[in-house]
Every structure is written in structure tokens, then in C-alpha cells.
Amino acid sequence: MKSIMASKKLCILLATIILLVAISACSGGEQGTADTSNGRTNEPVEQPNVNNEVEEPTKEEKMSAEITQMALQAWKSSIDTIWAHGAIEITNTGDVPIEIGDISISFVGDDNSILGTVSMILAIPEILLPGETAYAGDSTIIEGIDDPSEIVDMETSIDFDETDEQPQLLDVQDLKIIPSDFGGAKVTGRVVNISQENADDIRIIIALFDENDKLLGIYEELPDVTLAPGKKMGFETSYPGIEVEGFVDKVKKMVGKAYNWSWDF
């Protein structure tokens, strides 16, 4: 009798276990996303996020500027004063905009000594985008020598830095060089405000070249006017003086640059 009762209990226990397993299986089948096409339920298979694009390494941007041309003129004035004129062409040879700061020019004697120096020279324009050029220069009295031929070379120094500023450029047109009755020459032309803002601190520079596009010197002008967008005005300049004999005849090409200078805040 005990054996029969034990067998019944064992059968009931096995039936209970089978029932629990069946209920658990049915409960597990209810998870996931229903697929109404065939009544089955399936877990969605996540595809790996594959990016076929290969990122190239970023090229490091270079900040660079070079003095690509220099000009030296020397002469004796009518009152036997020795003068020297120096001019430079600056090119942004880098990949980023630059702002040109301090510029100095030193004149070198035939004994390799420094005969004179001009500093605090302005570059026009002072902000250069990659590949663009600016010009700068000045004239000064040289003491301690009797002949301009003793000035044989010039040395220059420029300071520049990267900038995110954009220059307010103007256009220079209708340039003409005219010999002066007092020695030297003057340059006339027009400046046009091609920007969308007033120009109230205009800087103009004229670079002069010979027939081989070699830089000969510069003239500059700082007109004290405000020029509205789209407006133009005439100008003339003979500064800085260049009184080399036959200088005007050597000039075969002129390039004008102009911009509106503004404070950096």
C-alpha cells in the first residue's frame, strides 16, 4: 500500500514539474517583437554600426609669411643730404590668415655696418589671406657718409600672427605717376569703397615696378575722409619721397592696395 501511495506522489510530482516547465516556455515565447505575417515572435537582430568612410588625418595648418621682394634706392638731395628708400613685398605663404605687426628696415653700408633704421612701418593691408600680398616701406636721411653708393644693402624684420579677422578691402583705380617740379614724383588715382560699411580710416599704398616686375619702391597715402559704400574719391601722394634721377622713367607698372584700418578689441 505504501508503495502504491509513493508511486502516486511521484507521478503527481512529475506532472507538476512538466506543467511548470510548459507554463515557463509559454511565458518566454511572449517576449520580443511580434511578426504579424506568421504569428511567430522573434527578437530583432541588431546590425553592427558599420562606417565605411575612412577619416583622413587632419592636415596641420601652417602659419607663414615671406618677404618676396625688396627694393633699395639711395640718392643725394639738392642740399647734399643722403637719403635712402626701402620697400618690401610680403606674401602670406601659409594656410591661415595673418595679421602683420611691427616692421623695420635697416640700411647697410659697404663696411657691413648699419647706417640707419626705419621702424614702426605700416603694412598695407595688414591682414593677409593665404596667397595674398602686402607692401610696406619708407625713406630716411642717412648720416655719416658722403656718397649714396656707400649704401649697399638693406635688412628687414617683420612680425606677424594668426588672426580670424577679415580685412575691409578697398579698390584702387586709374593710377598715374607724374614727375614733380621739385624732384621725385607723385602718384594720382582713385580709391573705391567696395565694402558694405563706411571706410573712415583709409590706408593706401602704391607699389612701383620696372619692366621685369621688379619692385622699385612704394608711395602711400592716408586720406582724412569717410567713404560710404560704393563711393569713390581721388587722391594724390608723393610720400615717402623718392628723388632718384630717372626714377619715373623706370616705372612701367603700378599696383595699388587699400583697406580700412580698425582697432582690435
Contacts of 107 (CB under 8 A, 6+ apart): 72, 74, 84, 86, 114, 115, 116, 117, 140, 142, 151, 153, 154
DSSP state of 96: S
What is the average pLDDT score of the chain? Answer: 85
pLDDT reported for residue 12: 54
d(CA 252, CA 83): 23
pLDDT reported for residue 59: 62
37-46, 132-141, 153-162, 164-173: the lowest-pLDDT one: 37-46
Interval 22-47 mean pLDDT: 41
**CA angle (29, 33, 38) in 5-degree steps:** 75
**Res. 9: pLDDT tops 70:** no
Q: Which residue has the higher pLDDT, 181 or 223?
A: 223
- 15-24's contacts with Cβ under 8 Å and 24+ in sequence apart are none
pLDDT reported for residue 200: 96
* pTM summary value: 0.77
Interval 152-162 mean pLDDT: 97
pLDDT reported for residue 26: 46
Interval 39-54 mean pLDDT: 44
Q: Which residue has the higher pLDDT, 8 or 179?
A: 179
* CA distance to 35, 57, 95, 166, per residue, from 60 (Å): 53, 9, 9, 21
pLDDT reported for residue 58: 52
2-6, 114-118, 135-139: the lowest-pLDDT one: 2-6
241, 139 contact by CB (below 8 A)? yes
Domain spans in the chain, listed from the N-terminal domain onward: 65-260
